[in-house]
Each structure stands twice: as structure tokens, then as C-alpha cells.
Structure 1
Amino acid sequence: MTETTKTDPKIEELFKVGAHFGFNKSRRHPSIAPYIFGSKNRVDIFDLEKTNEALQKALEFVSKLVETKGVILFVGGKNEAQSIIKEQAEIVGMPYSASRWIGGTLTNFPEIRKRVDMMLDLTSQKEKGELVKYTKKERVLIDKKIEKLQKMFGGIKDMTALPKALFIIDPRYEEIALKEALTLKIPVIALCGSDTNIEDIDYPIPANDSNVASIGFFVEKITEACKKLS
């Protein structure tokens, strides 16, 4: 990243949201080294030219995928990512996981789907007033069950088959989701901090994955790529 590249509008955008900040260089994963420009006060600084190149590759993949009606599962359970993941996924009608990842969501999808269907059935019964046949105590328990199921599976209620790709914020945090995707050979797009092993990630986007502004920027870019053909 040179001084002249800072005048590139795309690089300026990345710089403004703090996408260039990594973690302390002692935490750097060797696989991320090619994307590091240098360090300042022992904090790794990403080469934003390379970050932008990686982002464009990811966006191209997303555009081609949605062109064929491919579904992308948005994954971001860390506090900084939850609200933006939910908001942006809902805008483009994509499924999402914006809380703790439920083990087996991908690798045991048929069983997970049964629990989703249970949630939908109970919710439907409640909306139609069909739960009046139960006692007040039973209805309270059913309401609590619906609430719990919605918290766990509300984001994937419309996902009737395995997604064609995952978009993950911080693969280290979402280690189980990443492992499940790798097991099933589902392509992964991921926003990766400087402490991330990117060797097995199909479309890594090396940048700040712990700052709300940076996370929001990249999630919105992925959403825009989805919207173009949605």
C-alpha cells in the first residue's frame, strides 16, 4: 500500500472504517502475512490494496452465486456483528445465524430442520388461537419453548436446504461453523482478522474483524452484491 493508493476511493473507504487495523503482531497467523503492510506500535496494519483485491474476488463469487439463486448463510455471533448480520441478511432474504452457532446446523441439517418445523408449527398454532385447548400453565411453557426455538433457529426458518455458501465474520470465533462448512465442502467467504488461519477459506477478506464500522462495511458490500440480482 503506497501513498498514491490512498487516493483510490475504494482504499479511502476501507481506511475510513478502520479496516487496516489488525491485532498485535505477536498474534499474527503465518498464513495472513502476505496481506500485512507492516506494523505500527506492534499492531499489524493490513495492506488495503490486497484487502480490496480479496473483497472484489469475494463479491464476484457472490454475484455469480445469487445469479443462480444460490443461498448464502450469513454467520456472525460475536457482539460486534450480531445486529448488522441480522439486519443485512433480512434485507436480501438470506438466512443467518446471529447468536451462538448451534452445532450440527449444517452437518446434521435434517434434525435441525425438524426443530425448525416444530417452531413454525407451534408459532402457527399460537397465531391461530389453537393453543387455547391447553391450560394456562401449559401455554406459558409453550410460549417459552417458542421463544427459545426462535432465538436458536429464527434466522434459518426459511432455509429448507443446505446453503451454497457461508459468509462468516471472524472464523476463529465461528470455528464450529467453519469446520462444518469444510466437512461438507461448502464454500466460505470470511472477514478475517490478522490472527486467522486463512488456508482453508475459499474467499478470505483480510481486514479488521473486531470493529463495528469495519464489520458493517464488509457486510453491506456482500449485501449489495446479493441485491443486484435479488
Structure 2
Amino acid sequence: MTDGISSISPQLLQNMLEAGVHFGHQAKRWDPHVKPFIWQSRDGIHIFDLLKTAQSLQIAGEAVKQHIIDGKNILFLATKRQASGLVRDEAIRAGMPYIVSRWPGGMLSNWEQINKSIKRMHYIESGLESGEFKHYTKKERVILDRELTRLKRLFVGVGDLKNPPDALFVVDITREKSAMREAMAKKLPIYALIDSNANPNLVDFPIPGNDDAVRSISLLTKLFVDYIVEAKGIAEKSK
């Protein structure tokens, strides 16, 4: 593992500063458990200690590297509007599953049913492409089209999963309460961007910082995915 403060480059801290990673929520909206990561309050806004953010990112990054080298996957979750597109793109870069529209209840707690829905999505898509349903009436094909649209909206990012995810990466745990409950019940490792209104003790690897601004989410997610890409390269070379 990299060695603490000495390995954190000034350029990384500058990039975080320029991306607004240091801006938290209004001080009156904070979760007291996040106090160790707060530098100060300025004009009623909590300011993150970027050195601690960088250290937390390193800890999370080294952990996820080992996770990937061990052959496990990680599900990326971000349903808030400003995060969904960029998190989807980073998950694709990492070669990992993602959910960016709405959390499908039971994704972790009722995998058997979720897997049936994923298989149903593939079946309808394949059948429509191959002409298997050409003998159906127009109304029946419209119903299939609508069902496929609904299933793809939920499961397009997890369509290649054969088994439940091994871990979770979350943007905004205060928003993704259902997913958090399922992950904690299953004792899955949770990596997450933690803003000043969230409890970092709810996740295994908190990355404290602004989880509302696009540039902040983009930078922190990219840096996290860089560790995954590096780990996949290491795993490939060791084959």
C-alpha cells in the first residue's frame, strides 16, 4: 500500500481543489460522524480536508485493487441526475456492472428473481431481433417492446452478471437507502463518496468529498476507476 501523506502529490490536491471536492453541505445539515474529515466551516459551509480525502481515496483504491486481482467485481450505483451518465461511462471503462436509473429492489437480497428478469430481458431482445415473435399480433409486439424498454432501463448495466455483485460503489448513500440496506444485510464491501451530510461509518471505504458537483463526482470516480484498471492489468499479466 502507498505510504500516507508523503505519496500524495500536490497536483492531486490541486485537481481536487479545482473540481470543488472540498465543498460540503451547509454546516447545519451535517452528520457529526463526518467530523474527522472536515477541515473547517466557512460561511456556514463545511470544507473537507483534502489531504484526508486523498488518503481515504488511496485506502479505498488499494482495497479495490486487491478485490479485482482476486477476481471479484463491483457494482457501480449512481441514480442522481448529475452523476448517472459519468458514473456509467466510468463503470464501462472499468468493465464493471452499473445501475444508473432506479435501484431494482432485491438486486442483492433476491438475486434469483433479479436473474429471471435479466434472462427475460435477453430473451425478448433476442426474439425481437431474430424474428421469433413475427407471428405475434401488432398489439402483442408493442407489449413486448414496452416490457423490453422497462427491463433495459433497470438492467441494461447488469445484463452480463451471472451471479450477485461482490461489492458496491455508491454515489450519495443518503439517496441510495434501499441499496445500502441490502448491501449491509449481505455484508458486501461498500465503497462510497461521502458528503458532509452522510455517515461514513455506514460504509467500509468512505471517500469524503462533494457528491453533488459534476466535476467533483467525475474526478473522484475516475481516480477510483484508475485503480481498477491498474488491477485488471496486473491480473492479466499474472495469467
2:75 aligned residue (66, 73, 76): 73
2:172 aligned residue (161, 170, 173): 170
1:15 deviation in Å?
0.5
1:229 deviation in Å?
3.1
Cα deviation per residue 1:71-96 (whole Å; 9 max; x = unaligned)? 00000000111101111111222110
Contact 2:200–2:206 under 8 Å retained in 1: yes
Q: What are the within-5 Å matches in structure 2 for residues 79-228 of structure 1?
A: 79-228=81-230
TM-score (norm 2): 0.92
Identity %: 36
What letter is aligned with 1:50? K
Point out the more displaced range, 141-150 or 85-94. 85-94
Contiguous gaps of at least 5 residues in structure 1 = 1-5
TM-score (norm 1): 0.95
Contact 2:66–2:231 under 8 Å retained in 1: no
SS class of match (2:82): coil
Contiguous gaps of at least 5 residues in structure 2 = 1-7, 233-239
Contact 2:23–2:45 under 8 Å retained in 1: yes
Cα deviation per residue 1:78-118 (whole Å; 9 max; x = unaligned)? 01111011111112221101011111111011111101100
Cα distance in structure 2, aligned partners of 1:7 and 1:71: 29
1:17 aligned residue (6, 9, 19): 19
Cα deviation per residue 1:191-221 (whole Å; 9 max; x = unaligned)? 0110001112100011000000000111111
What letter is aligned with 1:60? E
Cα deviation per residue 1:173-202 (whole Å; 9 max; x = unaligned)? 111111110000000000011000111210
Cα deviation per residue 1:31-84 (whole Å; 9 max; x = unaligned)? 100110001110000000001110000100111111122100000000111101
What letter is aligned with 1:183? A
1:7 deviation in Å?
7.8
What letter is aligned with 1:128? S
Q: CA RMSD in A?
A: 1.2
SS class of match (2:134): helix
How many residue pairs align between the two structures?
225
Structure 1 segments (4+ residues) deviating >3 Å? none
Partner of 2:65: 63
Cα distance in structure 2, aligned partners of 1:147 and 1:163: 23
Cα distance in structure 1, aligned partners of 2:219 and 2:49: 17
Partner of 2:53: 51
What letter is aligned with 2:159? K
1:163 deviation in Å?
1.5
What letter is aligned with 1:94? M
Partner of 2:4: none
What letter is aligned with 2:128? K
